[in-house]
């Protein structure tokens, strides 16, 4: 399994940055329980960022274990890298993580096919984004111009701003999806446009899935 698309993502990197800044502020606490300028909303936003980071880390671990196995590492070698005492413990941990990430009950071939399907869907969504570059960048520009947002929403908007600076418009898809629910009740016009983006990406992914299903049926036909 190539170790490419599963590298640390921008949301995870941003979460680390937000949490590092937040904890630095708390370290400067004067004993009152609050860091200088650190509000309750900031700490709650930090917990949201921590959840994002933990979800990403949970997703990386089984991928890295699979990559190690694909490259010839034994379970006895993997165990100490995970802080575990035995190869059996490493295998049990991997199986539990596989179950949590939705691969329970799949054979090796089925896991490979599921990964291929997901990547094909990702490519279709990226292609759709590039074909709608002007509209997506215009929408992102409107979102980054918003003011007076709560810290958690502002963190999402900052990720949209960072993606807007990328050459590839496909980088906008994930942060736009992330900010959508935070604008649903306060900015209905933008929420409607974000819903249209979600519908477009879902359609692109669905069409790819249907195409692959048809191809598979033809290959299986006598």
Task: Give residue limits of the domains in the chain.
Answer: 10-105, 123-220
3-class DSSP assignment, residue 154: helix
Read off the pLDDT of residues 126-138 as tens digits, 9 standing for 90 and up.
999 999 999 999 9
Cα separation, 152 vs 182, whole angstroms: 9
What band does 1 get if pLDDT is binned at 50, 70 and 90?
very low
Q: Mean per-residue pLDDT for 109-124?
A: 75
* pLDDT value at 48 more than 60: yes
Most confident range, picked from 41-45, 50-54, 71-75, 193-197: 193-197
Q: Mean per-residue pLDDT for 30-39?
A: 59
Query: What is residue 100's predicted lDDT score, i.e. its pLDDT?
Result: 65
Most confident range, picked from 50-64, 113-127, 152-166, 197-211: 152-166
* pLDDT value at 23 more than 70: yes
CA trace torsion 190, 196, 197, 199 (10° rounding): 150
């Amino acid at each position: 399994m190539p170790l490419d698309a599963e590298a640390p993502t921008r949301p995870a990197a941003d979460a680390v940055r937000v949490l590092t800044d937040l904890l630095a502020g708390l370290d400067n606490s004067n004993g009152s329980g609050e860091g200088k300028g650190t509000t309750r909303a900031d700490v709650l936003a930090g917990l949201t960022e921590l959840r994002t980071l933990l979800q990403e880390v949970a997703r990386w671990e089984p991928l890295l274990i699979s990559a190690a196995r694909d490259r010839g590492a034994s379970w006895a070698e993997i165990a100490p890298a995970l802080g575990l005492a035995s190869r059996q413990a490493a295998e049990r941990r991997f199986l539990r993580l596989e179950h949590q990430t939705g691969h329970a009950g799949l054979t090796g071939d089925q896991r490979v096919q599921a990964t291929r399907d997901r990547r094909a869907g990702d490519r279709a969504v990226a292609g759709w984004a590039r074909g709608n570059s002007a509209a997506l960048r215009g929408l992102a520009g409107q979102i980054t111009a918003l003011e007076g947002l709560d810290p958690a929403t502002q963190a999402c908007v900052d990720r949209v701003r960072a993606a807007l600076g990328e050459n590839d418009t496909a980088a906008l898809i994930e942060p736009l999806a992330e900010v959508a629910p935070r604008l649903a009740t306060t900015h209905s016009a933008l929420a409607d446009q974000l819903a249209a983006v979600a519908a477009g990406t879902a359609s692109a992914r669905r069409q790819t899935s249907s195409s692959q299903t048809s191809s598979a049926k033809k290959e299986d036909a006598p």
